[in-house]
C-alpha cells in the first residue's frame, strides 16, 4: 500500500470513528444498526491498515538487509 492509500485508509477510519461516536447519542432503536455497521467498517479499515503495515515492514527489512553493511551503518 503506498503512502497515499495509507492516508486514505486513515481518513476512512476517522470517518467511521466519527459515526461510532455519533451513534452513541442516538435513541436506542436507531443506534444499534448504525453502530454495528459503523463498527464493522471501522474494524475492516483498521485491519486493512494493519495488513499494510506488515507488508511495509517486511518490504523494509528485505530492502535494508540487501544493503551493503557499510550503508546499513
For residue range 9-43, what is the model confidence (pLDDT) as tens digits? 888 888 888 888 887 777 766 667 777 888 888 88
Q: Is the pLDDT of residue 1 over 70?
A: no
Cα(45)–Cα(58) distance, rounded to whole angstroms? 20
Mean pLDDT rounded to a whole number for the chain: 81
Q: Using an 8 Å Cβ cutoff, are 56 and 31 in contact?
A: no
Residue 68: pLDDT above 80?
Answer: yes
Amino acid at each position: 500500500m503506498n503512502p497515499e492509500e495509507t492516508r486514505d485508509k486513515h481518513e476512512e477510519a476517522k470517518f467511521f470513528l466519527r459515526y461510532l461516536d455519533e451513534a452513541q447519542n442516538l435513541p436506542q432503536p436507531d443506534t444499534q444498526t448504525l453502530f454495528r455497521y459503523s463498527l464493522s467498517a471501522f474494524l475492516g479499515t483498521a485491519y486493512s491498515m494493519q495488513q499494510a503495515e506488515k507488508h511495509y515492514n517486511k518490504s523494509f527489512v528485505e530492502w535494508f538487509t540487501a544493503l551493503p553493511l557499510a550503508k546499513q551503518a
